[in-house]
Amino acid sequence: MRPLLGVILAALAALLLVFAFTGGGRQLPRMAEALAAKPKPVLVQCKGRTVKGRRCRNMTRSADGYCYLHHNQGQASEVPRP
């Protein structure tokens, strides 16, 4: 009788541990929803040009397509002429 009681108690303890660490099984669907709701921006090569006229090799997630060094190249502004 005692060995059977030990097996039952060990199984219950294992079940309690599983539910304690998984939040009772409720967090897994919430985590999947959160991952599906927030798509990561895609990395693209910067559209900026270097001083030598070459294409910038930096990667960016910025919506305008320019890295932190060339973000001002994406602004449509004219240079004042004297």
pTM of the complete model? 0.45
- Mind listing the pLDDT tens digit for each residue in 5-31? 788 888 878 777 776 666 655 555 666
- Comparing CA positions, the residue from 16, 73, 21 lying closest to residue 50 is 73
Q: What residues does each domain of the chain span? A: 40-76
Q: Residue type for 75, please?
A: Q
Q: Give CA 4 to chain center in angstroms.
A: 48
pLDDT at 81 (0 to 100):
52
pLDDT band at 74 (very low <50, low <70, confident <90, very high): confident
- Mind listing the pLDDT tens digit for each residue in 53-62? 999 999 999 8
Rounded alpha-carbon distances, angstroms, from residue 36 to 8, 33, 39, 41, 67: 39, 5, 6, 13, 26
DSSP helix/strand/coil, 3: helix
